[in-house]
Chain A
Amino acid sequence: MDLMTWTYLLVGASFALYIGIAIWTRASSTGEFYVAGGGVHPIANGMATGADWMSAASFISMAGLIAFLGYGGSVYLMGWTGGYVLLAMLLAPYLRKYGKFTVPEFIGDRYYSQTARVVAVICLIFISFTYVAGQMRGVGIVFSRFLEVDLLTGLLVGMGIVFIYAVLGGMKGITYTQVAQYCVLITAYIIPAIFISFNITGNPVPPLGLWGNVEGSDTHLLTRLNEIVTELGFAAYTSGGKSTIDIFCITAALMVGTAGLPHVIVRFFTVPRVRDARSSAGWALLFIALLYTTAPAVGAMARYNLTVTAWPGVAASTDVGSAVTDPQNALAADAIPDWMKRWNATGLIKWEDKNGDGRIQYYNEKGLKPEVAQSRGWTGNELIVDNDIMVLANPEIAKLPNWVIALVAAGGIAAALSTAAGLLLVISSSISHDLMKSTFAKGISEKQELMAGRIAAAVAIVIAGYLGYNPPGFVAQVVAFAFGLAASSLFPAIMMGIFSKKVNREGAIAGMLSGLVFTMGYILWFKGIFITPVQENIPANWLFGISPEGIGFVGMLLNFAVAFLVSRVTAAPPERIQELVEFIRSPRGAGSATHH
């Protein structure tokens, strides 16, 4: 069967599965709509959390980022897993004990303030919309490449599918669909990785193959990769990159941001008991780690594959230094492989024979002395590759069968849709539950609230689709925004609400606002997502050398500091709040998530 038939078959079958689950798990009460009735098994919840969490960015972009950043890519690996330790130990069990429906609801109750609740809703909506725009974009890219439809059609199909199961099923539908989506995405990620690892290193287990020898030689893959890329003027794969303080702050911002993302936190409201919330975080990290320990192997192997594709003669040589100076070793323009031609149509890979020698020289112009390049007859890099194609094109680069390529397409769509659905649910529940039911339209019945939730989800899908079609800047920039805001606004407010009895209403509101404004201001200052950047985004201009990606960590520290200072000079929280804190600290007596 040809690739197109396989792709339609696998993507179509996965859609049929998701819709089937949605109909089977239709939500009938607000409890089911917001927290799946609180009866999800911790292992199922762990899988659903894995799918919820692993977005188009994890599935499509991360291994590609690691391929080009090498050691610098570790910030994503540590940052996006280490957050689960914080979540499991500092937030999830306590919020589960509290047993309400939304994150702003906890903040509003703990800080005895509707204002705090509304501030939390604003933070949540900012975070979730920036994040969801990236997912819709990912859906569009996968559709347009693999099903060869245009971006708008791809987006509309994606929106339609999410609409069916998020609006009908609410959290219950989303949870069980996410379990299925997890299975699809992890299979799609691991199968090509096994093939590629076996091809390159002879070891079928990618996380082990990463440390192995190149098949048929006694040189380690990573040693070999370092030799070749440094000879071409790139930084060594296993070191270098950003400054230590920046790596530290980005990792911290991603970790704390992960723990503060509302769509991840609410997943722990759906399990029956406090002890399930603890173990479920462990299951979630296990399911996530399957992908996150495979990703660095995929990254290094994809980089190796790409480099030896561009330098076919260099792969077999023992002396890389002299091999790259032999003009015969570069890729001949008439021998360009088919996958490069196919992806060229998407604009994600480009080449140009600048020196007219009939060959493509791929190297780093900035990393090589001009006289060295000149002596080799190179007049500029002739191949440009986008990060995002490394995972999607990997099976084609490794010449894997068509069904594997089709499976990757279905996996990419599963990753994007599952995350989008989780985000849309927290947006809609914060609007129907936190804004309408509790603040602006207190008198509505449960049925009306459920309807409001469904309408809010539908409206949110349309806005997300619009943002996916007209993204405000680069998707990667937007994601930095979401993590920075989650780290600097919601995480400190929730954590202090559990671990301190002294932090009060004034402190929490001042802390959230200062963290939010500082972080947002810093990112806009350098990246200017809706405005023109004020200063150039280079290390010399940064505060303490911290990039906008890492500034959420500083925003978090600021939030903590402001909250403690303001709480000291204002009235202590009332007695009943101190009792509430006592209540959430002790596991006994946790009912399923309830209404007031």
Chain B
Amino acid sequence: MSEMNKSQAEAYWKANLRIVGGSLVVWFLVSYGAGILFADALNSIPVGGTGLGFWFAQQGSIIIFLILIAFYAWRMNKLDREFDVDEQ
């Protein structure tokens, strides 16, 4: 904490919240959006004998969750270095 002043700490936290917020929007859209709320509409797009909504609900959302965590871990490590708060 000592090597970082207050405004820098706030800027770091805001940047962190932006990354988390953006990731969670995608997280919501692929699962609750594509897999549940808009599943019926997306099912008009054919995928493997059924529709895109079913694909998102049973497989697509899981794959995107994985990509999201990988992105988050990479982006946060980069942010830590930018703000010089990473663990040496």
**Which of A's residues lie within 8 Å of B, judged by CB?**
66, 71, 73-74, 77-78, 81-82, 84-85, 88-90, 93, 207, 210-213, 219-224, 226, 238-239, 244, 247-248, 251-252, 255, 273-275, 278-279, 281-282, 285-286, 289, 292-293, 296, 579, 582-583, 585-590
* Cβ–Cβ contact A281 & B59, under 8 A: no
Q: Report the bound CA distance from A219 to B68 in whole Å.
A: 34
Which residues of the partner chain B approach A589 to less than 8 Å between Cβ atoms? 1, 87
A-B CB contact pairs (8 Å), 24 listed? A74-B54, A77-B57, A77-B59, A85-B23, A85-B65, A88-B72, A88-B73, A89-B23, A210-B59, A211-B49, A220-B49, A222-B54, A223-B49, A224-B49, A238-B43, A238-B54, A278-B72, A282-B69, A286-B66, A582-B9, A585-B13, A586-B1, A586-B4, A588-B86
Which B positions have Cβ atoms within 8 angstroms of A? 1, 3-4, 9, 12-13, 16, 20, 23-24, 27, 31-32, 35-37, 39-40, 43, 47-51, 54-55, 57-59, 61-63, 65-66, 68-70, 72-73, 76-77, 80, 85-88
Residue among A85, A248, A589 with max Cβ neighbours from chain B (10 Å): A85
Additional pairs, 6, CB under 8 Å, beyond known A78-B61, A207-B59, A590-B87 = A211-B48, A239-B43, A248-B36, A282-B66, A586-B9, A587-B86
User: B69 touching A77 by the CB < 8 A rule?
Assistant: no
CB contacts (< 8 Å) of A583 on chain B: these are 1
Residue of A nearest to B58 (CB): A296
Please determine whether A89 and B63 come into contact, CB atoms closer than 8 angstroms.
Answer: no
Nearest-neighbor residue (CB-CB) of B16 within chain A: A585
CA distance A247 to B35 in the complex (A): 10
How many residue pairs, one in A and one in B, have C-beta atoms under 8 Å apart? 148
Q: With A and B bound together, what is the CA distance between A248 and B34 in angstroms?
A: 12
In the assembled complex, how far is the CB of residue A192 from the closest CB belonging to chain B, in whole angstroms?
A: 19
A78 adjacent to B72 (CB under 8 Å): no
Interface hub of A219, A244, A252, A587 (most chain B Cβ within 10 A): A587
* A221 neighbours in B (Cβ, 8 Å): 49
Docked-complex contact B86 and A74, CB < 8 angstroms: no
Q: Which residues of A contact B62 (CB under 8 A)?
A: 77-78, 81, 289, 292-293
A214 to chain B minimum Cβ distance, whole angstroms, is 9
Determine which of B31, B77, B86 lies in contact with A251 in the assembled complex, contact meaning CB atoms within 8 Å.
B31
Is A78's CB under 8 angstroms from B63's CB? no
A contact residues around B1 at 8 Å (CB): 579, 582-583, 586, 589
Report whether A222 and B76 are in contact in the complex, using a CB–CB cutoff of 8 Å. Answer: no
A89 touches B24 (CB 8 A): yes
Residues of B within 8 A of A296 (CB): 58-59
Contact B61 A222 (CB under 8 A): no
Q: Is the CB of A71 within 8 A of B54?
A: yes
Contact between chains at B36 and A244 (CB < 8 Å):
yes
- CA separation between A582 and B12, bound complex, in Å? 11
Most chain-B Cβ atoms within 10 A of its Cβ — which of A224, A238, A275, A585? Answer: A238
> Chain A contacts of B58 at CB under 8 A?
66, 71, 73-74, 77, 210, 296
CA distance A589 to B72 in the complex (A): 21
> Known contacts being A238-B54, A275-B77, A585-B16, is A285 close to B48, with CB within 8 Å?
no
B69 touching A85 by the CB < 8 A rule?
Answer: yes
Instruction: Check A90–B59 contact: CB distance below 8 A.
Output: no
Q: Are A273 and B87 in contact (CB under 8 A)?
A: yes
Contact of A85 among B27, B36, B43, B86 (CB under 8 A): B27
Asked whether B65 lies within 8 Å of A278 as measured between CB atoms, the reply is no
In Å, the complex CA distance between A219 and B48 comes to: 10
A211 contacts across to B, CB distance below 8 A: 47-49, 55
Please name the residue on chain B nearest to A272 by beta carbon.
B87
Question: What separation, in Å, do the CA atoms of A394 and B58 have in the docked complex?
Answer: 20
A567 CB, min distance to chain B CBs, angstroms: 20
Query: In the complex, what residues of A have CB within 8 A of residue B86's CB?
Result: 275, 587-588
